Amino acid sequence: MQHTLEVRAFFFNAKTDYLPYYKNFTMTLNSEDSVEKILAEVKAQNEDFAYPTEKLVFKINDLVVLGSETVGNVVNKLGSSLQIDPVLSYRSNHCLIINDDDFMEKFDMLEAYVTDEDKAYYESLYALHYASETYRFSHDYIGDAILLLAHRIIKNNPEHKEAILEIISDPYDGLAACEYENNLFNAEFHTKEIDELNAMMEQTEKKCILDKVNEAMSKRALYSFDKENIEGVNVACYAGDSGLLDEIHEKITENGGKIIHYPRATKLTGVSLLGKQDNLAFLKAATTLLNALDSGAELLVVAKTANMEMLTKHFASIQKRIGREIPLPLISVKEFEALCNKEAVA
């Protein structure tokens, strides 16, 4: 089967360009073609385009794919309008060719404790390393791949546990900054390993009087929704990992609201980072709220109780972290359903 693709490709040359830019291309490829052929066709149409000939991984519509992935699989999942980017745009030297020195530099941190099999395992995590969501918020993050290697070493050689944990324990860019959420085209789930590492750290929550002060400030900073129903209102849903996005969107439509779509509707907001890396947690939450607001939302329905508690309890700190007010009313699913039923919420 053939597919006509509309491709928007990333261009940047560190030697000549100040900022990256995009160019548009149209091409027809077969389902069984590898996605590398998309890049070859872009190169054929514009010789300034460049991509690596080894370790080929790049982003299509914000998901990291291997060069061997088929066009058919990509079209089935993402459609025929495709945006091509390097795995991390800020590491681009020339279009999709990146400076990937950081990958093995991270490995060097644990090299004294690894076997040849461990090294081969780490090298297999190349795509996963660059697919980490945390790199959007912290360019110095230690990386998901090195954390998985650390977990493997400790599991196989527990006598190295304390030394390994010390290496990955940087309070800003180490394990504390990891809220596992990968952006691989073929998703891999490693939350269990990260949770086990966190348990090994034996981190304890630190409570202080400032918590109560922050809660009080957040209550005053929150915006209320004063209308009796959502008819004609631009409503967005923050679903996170709840799986409720489609269900809530359906209810918005049924009750006369206008659905606002925004990219971070199913991303994580930093709940698991609270008490470990509050600064990063608040940045992720603020980025999500601003994404909804700037997409046109007048009301945000928050699907999960834990997310609602985090956003409302720390709202003042979230605004402070981003340096901008976020005039967006937040309501829980319970409040949303009551609003749809025109009932008062106790």
Mean pLDDT by 10 residues, the chain (346 residues): 96 95 97 97 97 96 97 96 97 97 94 95 96 92 96 95 92 88 89 92 50 56 79 94 93 94 94 89 94 95 93 90 91 89 53
Q: What is the pLDDT of residue 344?
A: 42
Number of compact structural domains in the chain: 3
- CB-hemisphere CA count at 13 Å for 175? 23
* Claim to verify: residue 219 and residue 336 sit in the same structural domain: yes
Q: What is the pLDDT of residue 293?
A: 95
Please identify, among 201, 225, 249, the residue that sits at the C-terminal boundary of a domain: 201
CA distance 286 to 330: 13
* Claim to verify: residue 23 and residue 74 sit in the same structural domain: yes
Domain membership of residue 87 as a residue range: 2-98
* Claim to verify: residue 33 and residue 142 sit in the same structural domain: no
> Does some domain include residue 172?
yes
- CB-hemisphere CA count at 13 Å for 66? 12
* Claim to verify: residue 84 and residue 195 sit in the same structural domain: no
CA distances in angstroms from 273 to 76, 165, 172, 341, listed in the order given: 34, 17, 11, 35
CA distance 276 to 194: 14
- Specify whether the CB–CB gap between 8 and 21 falls below 8 A: no
* Claim to verify: residue 272 and residue 296 sit in the same structural domain: yes
* Claim to verify: residue 7 and residue 90 sit in the same structural domain: yes
* Claim to verify: residue 35 and residue 93 sit in the same structural domain: yes
* Claim to verify: residue 239 and residue 312 sit in the same structural domain: yes
* Claim to verify: residue 63 and residue 87 sit in the same structural domain: yes
DSSP state of 9: E
Please identify, among 44, 77, 98, the residue that sits at the C-terminal boundary of a domain: 98
CA distance 144 to 162: 19
* Claim to verify: residue 93 and residue 26 sit in the same structural domain: yes
> Does some domain include residue 281?
yes
* Claim to verify: residue 70 and residue 118 sit in the same structural domain: no
CA distance 100 to 269: 28
Tell me the CATH number at 246.
Answer: 3.40.50.11810
Please identify, among 36, 66, 98, the residue that sits at the C-terminal boundary of a domain: 98
> Does some domain include residue 345?
no
* Claim to verify: residue 112 and residue 137 sit in the same structural domain: yes
Residue with tokens 């514009």: 46
Residue 207 β-bridge partners = none
CA distance 186 to 76: 13
Q: What is the pLDDT of residue 275?
A: 84
> Does some domain include residue 265?
yes
Q: What is the pLDDT of residue 296?
A: 96
- Specify whether the CB–CB gap between 33 and 70 falls below 8 A: yes
Residue with tokens 């040359």: 13
CA distances in angstroms from 44 to 24, 41, 114, 242, 318, listed in the order given: 13, 5, 43, 43, 47
Residue 174 CB neighbour total at 10 angstroms? 23
- Specify whether the CB–CB gap between 41 and 82 falls below 8 A: no
> Does some domain include residue 186?
yes
Q: Nearest to residue 61, comparing CAs of 13, 95, 19, 10?
A: 10
Q: What is the pLDDT of residue 220?
A: 62
> Does some domain include residue 250?
yes
> Does some domain include residue 346?
no
Encode pLDDT of 202-242 as tens digits: 643 444 444 554 555 556 657 788 888 899 999 999 999 99
Tell me the CATH number at 53.
Answer: 3.10.20.30
